[in-house]
């Protein structure tokens, strides 16, 4: 069974750093692109970027380029989303999701993590 | 970047109704479009991919159509469990953006 299990909720202060995780299981982790999606409170879904764990090829939305870093550790089947200096506007639910087709960048998301709520407040 | 315009932003309907949601892309995306359903507090769920292919396990009252720039999601006979928010997503090129969402409410 394919599963994406995300790390737990975080409460941080502005300026702090953070790295959240998404662990894949039940499939070949290195063979499918994994993406990150932001959902701010009461708002829609925003595509942040994707990574191919097999070679760490990464693509970012221009809206998020330079604001976050997406990485993966294929040895432990885990993708990451990190911030070096959080802002209050980073408060949101963050989902990871897997592309549906092996080694294909043009694909929909067929499996989703449960979400990680990040709250940034002084 | 390709802009995706989804409409309407909200929709009121009754159980048993037929509803249609549309997405328009700012340039041609072939059939590289997916539809998702999201219920409050839950992750999105894939309903349709490649514009018209039903994801396994999704009821047949859901259908998708279109190619190029104009796409529709139709729910043929609304059930109580269908009241949710729906999003389209283009995956023709990155950023593989989502539409703004359509909140489907009970009339």
A3-47 pLDDT per residue, tens: 999 999 999 999 999 999 999 999 999 999 999 999 999 999 999
Please give the pLDDT value at position A38.
Answer: 98
Mean pLDDT of all residues belonging to chain B: 97
Residue A110 has pLDDT above 90, yes or no: yes
Q: Is A9 helix (H, G, I), strand (E, B) or coil?
A: coil
CB atoms within 10 A of CB B95: 20
The DSSP line for A24-63 is: EESS-GGGS-EEEEEE-TT--EEEEEEEETTTTEEEE-TT
pLDDT band for position A103 (cuts 50, 70, 90): confident
A55 touches chain B (CB under 8 A): no
Residue A82 has pLDDT above 90, yes or no: yes
Contact A20, A118 (CB under 8 A): yes
Residue A76 has pLDDT above 90, yes or no: yes
Match 């949710």 to its residue by tokens: B84
Could you give the percent of chain A with pLDDT greater than 90?
96
Substitution target from A49, A108, A110, A116 for chain B, most B beta carbons within 10 A = A108
Please give the pLDDT value at position A29.
Answer: 97
Check B44 against A50: CB less than 8 A apart: no
B27-61 pLDDT per residue, tens: 999 999 999 999 999 999 999 999 999 999 999 99
CB atoms within 10 A of CB B44: 25
Check B95 against A63: CB less than 8 A apart: yes
Please give the pLDDT value at position B107.
Answer: 87
Q: How far apart are CA B6 and CA B21, in angstroms?
A: 7
| Candidate from A45, A97, A115 with C-beta closest to B87 | A45
The pair of three-digit structure tokens given for residue B83, joined into one six-digit string? 């009241």
CB atoms within 10 A of CB B15: 12
Q: How far apart are CA B26 and CA A113, in angstroms?
A: 30
Q: How far apart are CA B5 and CA B99, in angstroms?
A: 6
Check A114 against B92: CB less than 8 A apart: no
Q: How far is CA A4 from CA A26, A112, B46, in A?
A: 9, 6, 15
């Amino acid at each position: 069974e394919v599963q994406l299990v995300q790390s737990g909720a975080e409460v941080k202060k502005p300026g702090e750093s953070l790295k959240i995780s998404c662990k894949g299981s039940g499939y070949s982790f290195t063979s499918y692109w994994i993406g990150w999606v932001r959902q701010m409170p009461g708002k829609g879904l925003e595509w942040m970027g994707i990574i191919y764990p097999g070679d760490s090829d990464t693509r970012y939305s221009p809206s998020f380029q330079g604001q976050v870093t997406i990485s993966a550790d294929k040895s432990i089947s885990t993708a990451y989303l990190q911030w070096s200096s959080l802002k209050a506007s980073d408060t949101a639910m963050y989902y990871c999701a897997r592309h549906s087709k092996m080694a294909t960048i043009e694909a929909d998301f067929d499996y989703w993590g449960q979400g990680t709520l990040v709250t940034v407040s002084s | 970047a390709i802009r995706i315009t989804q409409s309407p932003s909200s929709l009121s309907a009754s159980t048993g109704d037929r509803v249609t949601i549309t997405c328009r892309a700012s340039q041609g995306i072939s059939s590289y479009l997916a539809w998702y359903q999201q219920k409050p507090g839950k992750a999105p769920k894939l309903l349709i991919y490649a514009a018209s292919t039903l994801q396994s396990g999704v009821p047949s009252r859901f259908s998708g159509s279109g190619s190029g720039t104009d796409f529709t999601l139709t729910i043929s006979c609304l059930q109580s469990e269908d009241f949710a928010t729906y999003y389209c997503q283009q995956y023709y090129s990155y950023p593989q953006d989502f539409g703004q969402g359509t909140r489907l409410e009970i009339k």
